[in-house]
Chain A
Amino acid sequence: MSRRFSSSSRIFAIAGNTFTDLVRQRVFLFLLIFSLMVIGCSALLAKFSFQEEFQMLKDVALGAMSLFLSFFAILASAMLLPRDLEDRTIFTILSKPVPRHEYLMGKLLGVLTMLLLSTLIMGGLFLTVLVLREQSVLLETRNSVVGSQQELASALAEVRKSAFNWNLIPAMAILFAKASLIASLTLMISTFATSGIFAILTSVSAYFIGHLQETAREYWLGGVTVHWWSRLFSALLALVFPDLQAFNLSDDIVAGKGLPLDVFWQTIALGGVYTILYYLVACFLFQKREL
């Protein structure tokens, strides 16, 4: 009997199971920590000026989102294959007419769905706290400013300018793209890793190397006089690992910088290309792997 090279229903079935499995493991509990952090931070920062308060709230919330998403992408993806092997579910799935690339695609999509949902929940929570604080400061300003309507309007505009701005939305989209890339990279590592711990540690190392890729690249291409092996090593790092600094634009976005549209789309596209690339390599490595 012939079967199609790929079936979306099989992929979505595996993705759905992966997602349900992750939900059952109560991974959303980490969102509680995020909530406490954002709300606690907001209360703690109330003693600062409103500009400082909003600046730091955005800094901490987006930083925490980046940390949690990266952390979650590594932990969830690294444990997928080892857990299935431990539970022997992988044998049940692969003994059916399910190609290995579909199995990996389902797993990856399950994690990406979880990451997307986490981004939306954390983003929603953060924006809610930000808008509530903004409204509270606006109310205080309305009650405290004594002067002309023009002065009041100017003060209110200053408060609004410091709080929410639309660039926060693309900043969160870029955090999701980065987390997707990390999830795919970790999945690739887990296809040749001998244990879950090894996959986690290697992925964490890759995360740090990715943030130093830009330095390695400049070291390699900058014409610095070094040993040939040192240059070769830098070249290897620059070619194999993604430049994760390219996804750290939220630091500047919270400073009030407008994100140009071409920078945004190119960054998202870079994340997408690397996610696909690591998935393809993961399929290649997993194809003939002994289980």
Chain B
Amino acid sequence: MMGRVNPLRVLFAILFLGIAGSLILPWQIELQHLDRSAHFRSATLDLGLRERVGQAAFIAALSGFRAPVAALLWISAHAAWEKTEWGKMDALFESVTTLQPRVLLYWDIAAWHMAWNARASALQDLTQPSEVLRERSAGHYVALGRNFLERGIKNNPDQYLLYESLGRLAGTRESDHGAAADAYAKAASLTNAPAYLKRLAAYESSLTPGREREAYERLLSLYHEGAQQRVPTLVTRLHEFEQKLGIPKDQWVNDSVSSYPFYPLKAPK
């Protein structure tokens, strides 16, 4: 057994640590602001999360193990998917995205599971004889998917991926081509966005009633960007609008791609 330290020394040590701590404190606060401005340490660990993930996982998350806890919950969500337990999956996705709000993958896949897989499952749910109620349930899952994407965007406003997914969801799941065009256009304006997003924005505009002129201008502008953007779908669509809007023939683009009739002008149902 060790001997004792003079209690007065311990008191002096605490006092010294307090004084040193007060000198370091402004630095720690500044570092915290610096971290937050660089989008670090942005997760909010509140009592709502504690109720969802349980005491042990919450303590682990508080102790600096947010990422491993999120990974384990993600594996649980995958197991729930294999059993098509959509409600459980939704709750687990909520916890995962709360723990790791900067991981785009979690928001994106959570939204995809809800708006695509859970929706399809709801539409084919034979235990629900009413088609109206099946449709309603499917719509509910699509809304959950949208909600994940919107919150993901709020947490990661500088990333194109979730805007792209939102565009896909609006266009294919909600048939809201105007919203899809806006989402793709926003995605295309962000850093590192792939070139095809501009085309997707133009295609979705072309499917939106009342936005034909805007769609034509977008398509034409892309066409003039060069060979990289002159894919068959774009050229086909451009020709369709030249005819539809009565553009003088001398202003038509000089490109023929009639052998590539994909991506029809008619909006998919």
Contacts and interface: CB of A to CB of B under 8 A. Distances in A.
Given A63-B67, A192-B5, A281-B16, A263 B39 contact: no
Interface string B14-41: 1011101110110111011011001111
Contacts of A60: 67-68, 71
A43 interface: no
B132 interface: no
Interface in A239-272: 239-241, 243-252, 254-257, 259-260, 262-263, 266-267, 270
A156 interface: no
B39 A288 contact: no
A18 interface: no
A285 B27 contact: no
Contacts of B5: 191-192, 285, 288-289
B133 interface: no
The SS class assigned to the A binding surface is helix
A122 to B, nearest CB: 14
Chain B: interface size category: 35 or more
A60 to B, nearest CB: 5
B105 A55 contact: yes
A43 B107 CA distance: 24
A248 B13 contact: no
Contacts, number: 155
A275 B251 CA distance: 73
A85 interface: yes
Contacts of B100: 251, 255
A273 B2 CA distance: 28
A267 B31 contact: yes
A58 B41 CA distance: 18
B31 A263 contact: yes
B34 A262 contact: yes
Chain A: interface size category: 35 or more
A239 B75 contact: no
Nearest to A267: B31
A32 interface: no
Contacts of A245: 41, 64
Contacts of B66: 248, 251
Interface in B92-144: 100, 102-105, 109
Nearest to A247: B64
Nearest to A281: B13
Interface of B: 1-6, 9-10, 12-14, 16-18, 20-22, 24-25, 27-29, 31-32, 34-35, 38-43, 59, 62-68, 70-71, 74-75, 78, 100, 102-105, 109, 194
20 contacts: A56-B71, A56-B74, A58-B67, A59-B71, A63-B71, A66-B65, A193-B2, A195-B1, A208-B62, A217-B29, A244-B64, A249-B40, A252-B102, A254-B67, A257-B38, A270-B28, A284-B12, A288-B5, A290-B3, A290-B4
Interface of A: 48-49, 51-52, 55-56, 58-60, 62-64, 66-67, 81-82, 85, 154, 191-195, 207-208, 211-212, 214, 217, 221, 236, 238-241, 243-252, 254-257, 259-260, 262-263, 266-267, 270, 273-274, 277, 281, 284-285, 288-291
